[in-house]
Amino acid sequence: MIVSSDLKIVVAVVLSLLTAGAVGYLVSLFNRLVHLRNNIEKAWNNIDAPLLQRNEEIPKLIDLCNAYMEHEREIIKTLGYLRRGYERAGNRTQRVALENQISPALRGLIAEAEGYPQLKANELFQKTMQRISDLETSIADRRIFFNETVVLYNIQIKRFPQKILAWGLGYRDHPYLLTPRRENP
């Protein structure tokens, strides 16, 4: 009889320890996911400021280009449309998607501007381009950090058993900020 009661106590203790270990493990996984999600938020806030500043420079560039460029109206129109969409975007995912279109459009407009010597000689154009260039350098550095953070997050939400917990809590893949490609002449 004593053995039976001692065995029940041992089983109860072992089950309690296993349950506590499982709960602790789940809490640890949850905390890791929260940490990674917050890191994405921090990385986004770090890059959002120069993106917004660059987008404030785009209307100046568009106005200058409109005065000189007659055949590139579609690029100018598209860039203006994307910029307004970025300002109105309701969440980070929408902004990332729009940014992934703005950078190549801006690069295309700048490439087209190279064919207009009077525009390139304009002092305001040169200052605007220098400001955009400085912001692009800052954005490029921050894009790397943002994408590294997204990689860590996306990997963690796909690993087992985190995948089950992440899926149940609504964690989904986060999009990357694409690096604009240089076009070869």
CATH number at residue 127: 1.20.1440.20
Give the structural domain span for 86: 2-168
Residue 176, in any domain of the structure: no
Residue 86, in any domain of the structure: yes
Query: The tokens of 111 are what?
Result: 């490439």
**Nearest 10 degrees: CA dihedral of 151, 156, 158, 160?**
160
Its sign, for the CA torsion 26, 27, 28, 29, is positive
Residue 67, in any domain of the structure: yes
Specify the pTM.
Answer: 0.76
Token pair 């954005």 is found at 139
pLDDT single digits (tens) 86-139: 988 888 889 999 999 998 888 888 888 888 888 888 888 889 889 998 998 899
Residue 145, in any domain of the structure: yes
Residue 22, in any domain of the structure: yes
Query: The tokens of 178 are what?
Result: 């694409």
Residue 183, in any domain of the structure: no
The structural domain count of the chain equals: 1
Residue 173, in any domain of the structure: no
Q: Which range has the top average pLDDT, 57-66, 148-157, 173-182?
A: 148-157
Q: What pLDDT, on the 0 to 100 scale, is given for residue 184?
A: 42
Q: What pLDDT, on the 0 to 100 scale, is given for residue 185?
A: 40
Token pair 């109206």 is found at 73
Q: What pLDDT, on the 0 to 100 scale, is given for residue 180?
A: 67
Q: What pLDDT, on the 0 to 100 scale, is given for residue 5?
A: 79
- Answer whether residue 69 shows pLDDT above 80: no
- What is the rounded distance in angstroms from the CA atom of residue 37 to the CA atom of residue 21? 24
Give residue 42's pLDDT band: very low, low, confident or very high (50, 70, 90): very high
pLDDT single digits (tens) 139-174: 988 999 999 999 999 999 998 888 888 888 888 999
Cβ–Cβ under 8 Å, residues 95 and 104: no
